[in-house]
Amino acid sequence: MHQHRQSDARDRESRPIVAIHGSASSGALWAPLVNAFSPGRTILAPDLRGYGAQDRRCLNRAATLQTRAAPVVKAMTRLDRPVHLIAHSFGASVALQIVKTVPGQVRSLTFYEPVIPALLRDSGQMHDLELVGDLLAVSEVLQGASAGVGMETFVNFWAEPGTWQTLPEEIQRKLSRLAPIVYQDFLEAYHNTSPNTFSQLEFNGPVRLLLGARANRQAIRMAELLAQQYPQASTQTLRDMGHLGPSTHPEQVHSTIVEHIGFIEAGSDFERAQQLVING
């Protein structure tokens, strides 16, 4: 668990941040958030099970998103207030499981290109089933082909064709070792998620959906489905980036997140001041 706690009286009312990475990544993805936010903010950036310092042996084919979310939920319960929940890619499926488990502990959601394949399956629309079919095809390559071929297919699908070939060999080897975990991610987010688990999940807090300008069809559609489910959601497209935006353009992505959360908290302060006037 990457935890950064800074103390400053000016920000003692700031709510904690919990940031969840996606597939083939780790909590280190969110390290720049420490500098992006002002001092005084508690930021938790956990390594999901199977990634970073977490033991990969703890995963099995029958595991669910509840298993993956459980350590994050446990850490959240130690905090004394609801959190702003941030997630990238597969991390958004974990984040929604957290909302389902402890809804009162989540103040807002901010997702960068959320990957929630269960929403495509549960929409009942033929177009969405075709889109999820592409995801199933990628998962089958991850399961059935060599680790290198599986991760090449995965990276080129979510980034852009040819991206894998631009990576140094050492990075390719490191990513290839994660192929079984990436396949496990899809099992949990799709096969092991019951119908309508997320399509009927209620959440009334602020929701911001971020997309890269080069997002693929699946990423765009999953964000659309979330926006339809949560009318309060706002969607923003960020220029010159794709699915890997938090890695390739961290300054732009993180500054957008900071601005959004600052807006939420400023609004909360205004609402509290209004209530004091009314009750005064």
Here the tokens at position 89 are 């890619």
- Give this prediction's pTM: 0.91
pLDDT tens track for 12-70: 458 999 999 999 999 999 998 888 887 888 999 999 999 987 666 656 888 899 999 99
Here the tokens at position 264 are 């939420």
Cα separation, 95 vs 93, in Å, equals: 5
How far from 85 is each of 30, 31, 97, 243, CA to CA, in Å? 12, 15, 12, 19
Q: Which domains, ranges and CATH numbers included, belong to the chain?
A: 2-116+196-279 (3.40.50.1820)
Mean pLDDT of 220-237: 98
pLDDT tens track for 231-278: 999 999 999 999 999 999 999 999 999 999 999 998 754 344 333 333
